[in-house]
Amino acid sequence: TLQPRRYVDVGAQVSGQITRLHVQPGTEVKKGQLLVEIDPSVQQATVDGARAALAGLRAQLAEQQAQYRLAQQQQARQQQMEREGATRLEDLQTAEAALASAAARIDHLKAQIDQTQASLKADEARLGYTRIYAPMAGTVVALEAREGQTLNATYQTPNILRVADLSTMTVWTEVSEADIRRVRAGLPVYFTTLGGQADAAARRWRSTVRQVLPAPPTPEAKAAGGANAQAAASKAVSYTVLFDVDNADGELMPQMTAQTSFVTAQAQGVIAVPLSALASPTSPARPAGGKAAGGKAADAEGDGDSAGAGAGEKAAAATHSARVLRADGVVEQRAVVVAVKSRHLAEVRSGLQEGEQLVTGERPARSGPQRFKL
C-alpha cells in the first residue's frame, strides 16, 4: 500500500471539549497554522489561580524584607548598647536570633516563589495546548474528531487528525521469506496502481528499494497446541520492503493498492515473444485463444511480486518449445532458448527469428480440418 513519506499524527495534550475545528480532510495547511481549539476554561482558571498565588507570595516577600531590615536595625542597636554596657547579653542574643529568622523566612519565600513560577509556566503551557497548530506543512489526510467532542488526555494522547506531506509517497510491500534474500537496497522496482491495471497503457512508477525491514510486520503467534499449532506452522512469513516515489503531480493517494514488481534482470533491444506462445518440451500445447505475436525487437524486464535473480545478474537461459507457422503453412515444433521473463514476455536467445509467426493455441473445428489461431 501507499503511505506518505512524512506525516504527523496531531493529538491533544489537554482534556476538554473541542470548540472549533479549522480544517477538514483535504485541507492544505502551513507549518504553525491553527488547526483546533479546545475549551480553555479549566486551564485558564488554573493559570489565574497560579498568578494570584505568585502575587501573594511576592507581597509576603516584600513584607518579610521590611521585617528583615527592622531586625538588622534592632540587632545593630543592641550591639552598640552592649559595647556601652547599657543592655543585657540576652537582649542582644534575642535581636540576633530575630535577624537570622527574618533572613530564613525570606529564603523560604523566595523558594516558594520559584516553585510557583515553575508551576505557572506549566499551567501556561497547558493553556497553550488548547490551541493546536500544524507541526509541519502538508495536507490533512484524516480527521478523527468533531466539534463538540470531549477529549480525555489523562492516560493517553487522543489523536485528532493527521497531517501528511503528499509530495513523496512510500510504498510498503510484502515479500515472502523465500524471496526476501534477493531483495536489497538499491534494487530497481516499479509498480502500477489497482485502478490503472485494466488499461493497457497503465502508468508505471519507478524507484529503487530504500529499506528492507529486518523483522516481519507482525510477530508469529505462539500456538498452545491443536488447531492453533497447525495454523501457526502453516502461516506464511513475509517481510516489508519500502521504496519512495515522487508524487509532485498528486496522482498517488494514501492507502492506494500498488502492484509491485522487482526488476531482477532486464534486456533491451532483443527479440521477445509472449509467454502464451511457449511451453516446456514435455508440456502439452497451451489452450487455444491466446494472443498471436511475431518475434520482434522489444524490451523485457524480469519482474514479479517475488524476486528471482538479483538485479545486474544474468538471467539463466531455459529451453522451451514453440510452434512456428512456416511460409508453406506447416506448423513446426521448435526448441527455443529464452532468458529474461516478465509476466507477459520472454527474451529469445536462440531458436526464433524476428518476424516469424507463432501459433499460440489450437482449437479443433466442429467439422473439417483443424484451424490455427495466429
- Residue 71: per-residue pLDDT: 95
Secondary structure (H, E, C), the chain: CEEEEEEEEEECCCCEEEEEECCCCCCEECCCCEEEEECCHHHHHHHHHHHHHHHHHHHHHHHHHHHHHHHHHHHHHHHHHHHHCCCCHHHHHHHHHHHHHHHHHHHHHHHHHHHHHHHHHHHHHHHHCCEEECCCCEEEEEECCCCCCEECCCCCCCEEEEEEEEEEEEEEEEEECCCHHHCCCCCEEEEEEHHHCCCCCCCCEEEEEEEECCCCCCCCCCCCCCHHHHHHHHCCCEEEEEEEEECCCCCCCCCCCEEEEECCEEEEEEEEEEHHHCECCCCCCCECCCCCCECEEEEEEECCCCCCCCCCCCCCCEEEEEEEECCCCCEEEEEEEEEEECCCEEEEEECCCCCCEEECEEECCCCCCCEEEC
The CATH code belonging to domain 1-39+131-262 is 2.40.50.100
Residue 192 bridge partners (DSSP) = 259
Separation CA 279–CA 197 (nearest Å): 26
- Could you tell me the residue ranges of all domains in the chain? 1-39+131-262, 42-128, 265-373
- Residue 284: per-residue pLDDT: 43
Separation CA 143–CA 193 (nearest Å): 25
- Residue 197: per-residue pLDDT: 52
Separation CA 295–CA 323 (nearest Å): 12
Within 10 A of 241 (CB to CB), how many other CB atoms are there? 24
Separation CA 94–CA 144 (nearest Å): 69
Q: What is the pLDDT along the chain (374 residues), one digit of tens a residue?
A: 899 999 999 999 999 999 999 999 999 999 999 999 999 999 999 999 999 999 999 999 999 999 999 999 999 999 999 888 888 888 889 999 999 999 999 999 999 999 999 999 999 999 999 999 999 999 999 999 999 999 998 888 899 999 999 999 999 999 998 889 889 999 999 999 886 555 545 788 999 999 999 988 654 444 344 445 445 445 788 999 999 999 999 899 999 999 998 888 878 888 888 888 888 754 444 433 333 343 333 444 554 443 333 333 455 677 888 888 888 888 888 888 888 887 788 888 888 888 888 888 654 444 444 444 44
Which CATH fold topology does 265-373 show? 2.40.420
- The b/e string for 331-364 (b: 16+ C-beta within 10 A; e otherwise) is eeeeebebbbbbeebbbbbebbeeebbbbbbbee
- Residue 247: per-residue pLDDT: 94
